[in-house]
Amino acid sequence: MSRERKTVNAQITGVGMWVPEKVLDNKYFESIVDTSDEWIRTRTGIQERRILEKGATSDLATNAIKNLMENTGLKPDEIEAIIVATVTPDYFFPATACLVQDNIGAKNAFGYDLSAACSGFIFALQQGASLIESGRYKKVVVVGADKMSAITDYTDRNTCILFGDAAGAVLLEPTENLEYGLQDSVLRVDGSGRDLLIMKAGGSAMPASKETVENKLHYIYQDGRAVFKVAVKGMADVSAEIMERNNLTGGDIAYLVPHQANLRIIDATAKRMGITRDKVMINIQKYGNTTAATIPLCLTEYYNAGKLKKGDKLVLSSFGGGFTFGSIYLVWSMD
């Protein structure tokens, strides 16, 4: 739908999040792999991350939506659609969205899972917004949820220190005031990067077997250095593009809300956008990389802390496996 012909925008009217209680700090990783607190802090910005000991991604997502419902008064039967962004679904099928729908009793909702790795939330938010903009749906819940510990090899120091488990959710509703809500998005995929960040086995390309288990092919594989280079460029490129398209300068933007994979990638993106650190949402130190959950986690924490106000211009940006990358420009409409 072209921007000119829209009669409503999708606006975020509620936020919620959930993280498990168990904390793994950097010291713990010193005891299981050859690493140091200093290396992890300086190379990534991470200090600790949360791990779900019992349950699955649907439990993370369910708890985040329950928090959203507490915060907003939203009733389960009012929800019309649930989009779950995840790369760690409970099962191939049924979709995690079905399990979440049943857990919360959203008896009037349809839903589906969206697989776009670290860009999952951004892609799902645009999908949810499109449902609202179509005029057909009035209450859409978008969740980013990942139990990364389920696919992390805790003997691989290259990856195990990076990831955590969490979920964050937002409620989308229409607004006729087109100055608010989602204004624009730049979304991209580049499948030529597929081998650099991948879970190699378990899908139809390489079904599970004794060999795939023995060779640890059901875990995250990442060529960190190669992904780092393209992530810095990719995230900065889409962020710069959305600013140009909307005539925004660094001074116009209240917050950059970046995917939390590495503090150095976040800093490089902010620098390219002409934005100072105080205008960047950062919580990587507490949760690590929670894949599809990082951005809604940031939105929820900053909103709950009273740091977001009506009219704030936000740019959400991400880069992840696939490759997938994207930016969304939105104007915050909650008091």
Looking at beta carbons only, is 148 or 240 nearer to ligand UT7?
A: 148
98 catalytically annotated: no
Minimum CB separation of residue 201 from ligand UT7 in Å reads 20
Choose the catalytic residue: 98, 118, 160, 298. 118
Question: Taking CB under 6 A as the rule, does residue 262 contact ligand UT7?
Answer: yes
Looking at beta carbons only, is 183 or 294 nearer to ligand UT7?
A: 294
Stretch (H or E) spanning 92: none
* Rounded-to-integer distance, Cα 5 and Cα 7, Å: 6
Only segment of 9-17, 36-44, 170-178, 247-255 that touches ligand UT7 (CB under 6 A): 36-44
Question: Taking CB under 6 A as the rule, does residue 31 contact ligand UT7?
Answer: no
Stretch (H or E) spanning 30: helix 26-32
118 catalytically annotated: yes
Residue 269 near residue 245, CB atoms below 8 Å: no
**Local structure of residue 4 (DSSP, 8 states):** T
For 135, the token pair is 């005029």
Question: Taking CB under 6 A as the rule, does residue 202 contact ligand UT7?
Answer: no
* Rounded-to-integer distance, Cα 175 and Cα 329, Å: 16
Question: Taking CB under 6 A as the rule, does residue 125 contact ligand UT7?
Answer: no
Distances (CA, A) of 145 to 134, 166, 182, 184, 240: 26, 6, 21, 24, 27
Question: Taking CB under 6 A as the rule, does residue 47 contact ligand UT7?
Answer: no
Binding interface with ligand UT7 (CB under 6 A): 35, 39, 43-44, 118, 157-158, 161, 197, 224-225, 227-228, 231, 261-262, 265, 289, 319-320
Which positions are catalytic?
A: 118, 259, 289
